[in-house]
Copies of this chain bind each other. A is one copy, B any other.
Amino acid sequence: MSENIKRTELNSLGEFALIEKLTKHFKANNQSTKKAIGDDAAVISNADKETVVSTDLFIEGVHFDLSYFPLKHLGYKLVIANISDIYAMNAIPEQITISIAVSNRFSVEALEELYQGIELACENYKIDLVGGDTTSSTKGLIISVTAIGSAKKEQLAYRNGAKVGDVICVTGDLGGAYLGFQVLNREKQIHLENPNIQPDLSKHQYIVSRQLKPEARKKTIQFFHENNIVPTAMIDLSDGLSSDMMHITKQSNVGCRIYDANLPISKEVFDQAIEFNLDPMTCALNGGEDYELLFTINPKDEGMIEMSDIDVSIIGKITAVEDDSVIVTSSNKEYKLIAQGWKA
């Protein structure tokens, strides 16, 4: 929140005037949105499709630190984190509800910044804001997000469908959001100790943007739908690859072999991990908040995935549950996969 801009106190507006002010620019994108904000409930029509619902709660001081997280970016990221769960069902997100509780530390202008980020994400991903609740909080900013999407019944990808022999794939690259968080946190500490030193984040642009402005894998899902591919299991990476892979193996009652040489790690992630004296592989396996898609496919679909332009790496195979879940190194050593999420 910059200091020089106009400050309108929250209590100068009533609850309904505030909602009106924050949401008046939002446009409806989807035919399925029959009624958005302004009644007791939103109304959605999905006709012959299944409705898919996911919800998240974000607490200041637990999930985000406003000393380096701009409110507009926060608004954007909240939407991304939530719709990523809908994509992870192989469904298309179409509606969202946002509830906020705020202390009077925040001005109306600060909330408008937050909603600008929400609006931008809604525009980029064609999501309609259809409801929410606005209230006061005794401390800080609390935001609850519920995303609603749809898919045909036969398109849905659950976590429990992985079969022995299936190919394990992941989109994009790993560990960036976690290292971006470490960099932002280090710069904050330096600035707190010496307020004259302004952070220079320019050489960390990629990993910082992975933390501050993540994107969801809309195109991957569009590719699946266009090519009639249904992953046998899928999850989005919010807690880290190890932890999220274990959700699939546990629910599908299978094991897995992940080849560490195949894990997608960008040069920026690799270099920054070394600078922090961290193992890049550990960052890739346990760093959260990348919002990439981890999925398994029937081997018959492997060729189509390899030929596609959707930025996917093939990282392993599903094995029998007796074979356990392991990481295989390039020197053919095996380590047991441990669900050790690092949450930013």
Which A residues contact B (CB, under 8 angstroms)? 34-35, 38-48, 50-57, 59-63, 85-86, 88-89, 91, 95, 97, 99-101, 130-133, 135-140, 142, 144, 146-149, 153, 156, 158-160, 234-236, 251
Q: Which of B44, B54, B156 contacts A51 (CB 8 A)?
A: B44
In the bound complex, do residue A41 and residue B53 qualify as a contact, i.e. CB atoms below 8 Å apart? Answer: yes
In the bound complex, do residue B40 and residue A54 qualify as a contact, i.e. CB atoms below 8 Å apart? Answer: yes
In the bound complex, do residue B53 and residue A131 qualify as a contact, i.e. CB atoms below 8 Å apart? Answer: yes
- Which residues in B have their C-beta under 8 angstroms from that of A159? 38-40
**Contact A236 B97, CB 8 Å, known A45-B51, A138-B59, A148-B53:** no
List 23 A-B residue pairs with CB atoms under 8 Å apart, sorted by A's residue number.
Answer: A38-B251, A39-B160, A40-B85, A41-B53, A41-B89, A41-B91, A42-B52, A43-B53, A44-B53, A45-B50, A46-B51, A47-B48, A53-B130, A53-B131, A55-B133, A57-B144, A59-B138, A59-B142, A97-B146, A138-B140, A139-B139, A139-B140, A144-B144
Q: Which of B47, B146, B236 contacts A146 (CB 8 A)?
A: B146
In the bound complex, do residue A57 and residue B133 qualify as a contact, i.e. CB atoms below 8 Å apart? Answer: yes
Q: Which of B39, B53, B153 contacts A158 (CB 8 A)?
A: B39
A106 to chain B: closest CB distance in Å?
14
| Chain A interface, DSSP helix/strand/loop, else mixed | strand
A252 to chain B: closest CB distance in Å?
12
- By beta carbon, the residue of chain B nearest A153 is B45
A32 to chain B: closest CB distance in Å?
9
- By beta carbon, the residue of chain B nearest A233 is B39
- By beta carbon, the residue of chain B nearest A244 is B40
Oligomer copy total: 2
In the bound complex, do residue A40 and residue B88 qualify as a contact, i.e. CB atoms below 8 Å apart? Answer: yes
User: Which residue of A60, A97, A130, A235 has the most chain B CB atoms within 10 A of its CB atom?
Assistant: A97
- Cα distance A189–B96 when bound, in Å? 41
- Cα distance A163–B85 when bound, in Å? 42
In the bound complex, do residue B88 and residue A133 qualify as a contact, i.e. CB atoms below 8 Å apart? Answer: no
- Which residues in B have their C-beta under 8 angstroms from that of A46? 46, 51
- Which residues in B have their C-beta under 8 angstroms from that of A35? 158
- Which residues in B have their C-beta under 8 angstroms from that of A100? 57
In the bound complex, do residue A63 and residue B135 qualify as a contact, i.e. CB atoms below 8 Å apart? Answer: yes
- By beta carbon, the residue of chain B nearest A146 is B146
- Cα distance A158–B35 when bound, in Å? 9
